[in-house]
Amino acid sequence: MSTPKLNLDTSEAELIERVCQGDKEAFYCLVQPCERGVFTAAMSILNNAHDAEEVAQEAVLKAFTALPRFRGESKFSTWLIQITINEARLKLRKDRRHLYESIDEQQTDEEGEYFPKDFADWREIPSEQLQRTELRSALKRALDSLPPKYREVLILRDVQHLSIEETARVLSITEGSVKTRLVRARLQMRDALTPGVDGSWSCGKREFEKVRPW
Amino acid sequence: MKVIEISCLEVWREISNYLDGEVDAELRSRMEAHFKTCAHCKAVLDGTRNVVRLVGDGIEYQVPEGFSKRLYDKIKNK
C-alpha cells in the first residue's frame, strides 16, 4: 500500500481542520514534509538511528492527539520538532544511558571561552572532494564527538536550517544560548575536521601550525 | 572613518554570528578589517564556513530505509 500524496493546493490550516475531524490521511500529509526534520531532531539528541525512529514515531502520534490544541503560534513543523525534542529528552532520561551527560546540565551554559586549537589554513573545499568517503566519515566522527548540547544546536541550525529563534524555541533556551553554543559547536567541528599536514582527514594530526594551501 | 581594532578573542567569539549575518555593521567592518591582516583568524573563518557548508547537505542524517512507510502505518493504526 502506498502512502498518500500531498496535494500542494491543500493548505496547512485546511489539513489541520481535516485532522481534527479524524482524517488520518490528512495528518500524514501534514507530517510527511517534516519527517526528515523530525528524525534529524531526534538524532541530534539520541545519536542512534533506531532510537531516533522510535522517538520520531512517538512524537508524531503525540502530535496527532495534541493537534486540536495547536494554536499556530509557530509553524506546524517547528511545533512538531519541539515535541520530538521533548520526547527524545524523555527517552534519554528513561534509558539512563547518559548518567554522566546530565540533562540538567543542558539548561545551563558554562561561560568559559572556546579557543581554536590550530590555525591551519583550510580553504574552500573543492566540490569533487565533498563526497569523499574519508571526508564524510571524518565528519560523522566529528559530529559524534561533540557534547550533546552543542550537537543539538549545530544540527538544528546547520543541518535543518532552523532560524535562531526557532532553535531557541524548540530547545527551550534563549537565543543568546543558541548563539553561544553554536559558535562552540562550529569551532570544535572545525578543529576536529581541519585536514592534517598531508591534506588528509584520516590522520587527526595536530602538529601543524603553518598556514597551508589546500 | 577610522575602524577601531578588534582582538582575535573577540573575533572568535563573534565568528559564527558573523557568518550568520547576526552582527551589526560596525562590528562587521571591524571584523573585516581584522581578517585582512590576521591570517590565523582568516583561517578560522574559512574553516568554520567550510563546516557550515559540509554539514549543511545533511547526508549524515538521512532517514532510514522504509521510515515513511512505517510512520504511515503507525498513524493508520492509531
Residues A82-120: pLDDT tens digits? 999 999 999 988 886 555 554 444 444 555 677 787 666
| Residue A205 domain-assigned (yes or no) | no
| Residue A6 domain-assigned (yes or no) | no
pTM: 0.82
Residue from the list A60, A122, A190 with its beta carbon closest to the beta carbon of B75: A60
Q: Say yes or no to pLDDT of A8 above 50.
A: no
Chain B residue at shortest CA distance from A186: B48
| Residue A101 domain-assigned (yes or no) | no
| Residue A177 domain-assigned (yes or no) | yes
Identity of the residue numbered B33: A
Q: Rounded to an integer, what is the distance from CA B2 to the centroid of its chain?
A: 28
| Residue A83 domain-assigned (yes or no) | yes
Answer whether A90 touches B (CB < 8 Å): no
Q: B75 to chain A: which residues are within 8 Å by CB?
A: 24, 27-28, 31, 60-61, 64
Find, among A154, A86, A23, the residue nearest to B60 by Cα: A154
Shared domain for A37 and A89, answered yes or no, is yes
| Residue A175 domain-assigned (yes or no) | yes
Please give the ipTM for the structure prediction: 0.92
CA distance A89 to B38: 42
Overall number of domains in chain A: 2
Q: A123 to chain B: which residues are within 8 Å by CB?
A: 46
| Nine-digit cell string for A84 | 520530538
| Residue A5 domain-assigned (yes or no) | no
Shared domain for A175 and A133, answered yes or no, is yes
Residues A27-72: pLDDT tens digits? 999 999 999 999 999 999 999 999 999 999 999 999 999 998 888 8
Shared domain for A80 and A122, answered yes or no, is no
Range of the domain at A39: 12-95
Shared domain for A18 and A84, answered yes or no, is yes
Shared domain for A120 and A83, answered yes or no, is no
Q: B22 to chain A: which residues are within 8 Å by CB?
A: 164, 179
Chain B residue at shortest CA distance from A48: B61
Query: Given an 8 Å threshold on Cβ–Cβ distance, is A193 in contact with B47?
Result: yes
To test the contact with chain A by mutation, choose from B42, B44, B57 the residue with the greatest count of A C-beta atoms within 10 A, namely B44
Shared domain for A80 and A150, answered yes or no, is no
Please enumerate in sequence order all residues whose Cβ is within 8 A of that of A40, keeping only pairs 6 or more positions apart, or say none. Answer: A155, A159, A160, B58, B61
> How far does A74 lie from chain B, in Å, by closest CA?
22
| Residue A104 domain-assigned (yes or no) | no
What is the CATH number for A21?
A: 1.10.1740.10
Residues A177-208: pLDDT tens digits? 999 999 999 999 998 887 654 455 544 444 33
Distances (CA, A) of A21 to A18, A147, A198: 5, 43, 62
Shared domain for A126 and A181, answered yes or no, is yes
Q: What is the mean pLDDT of chain A?
A: 81
Query: Given an 8 Å threshold on Cβ–Cβ distance, is A179 in contact with B17?
Result: yes
Residue B14, by phi and psi: left (phi above 0), alpha (psi -120 to 50) or beta? alpha
Shared domain for A79 and A124, answered yes or no, is no
What is the CATH number for A130?
A: 1.10.10.10
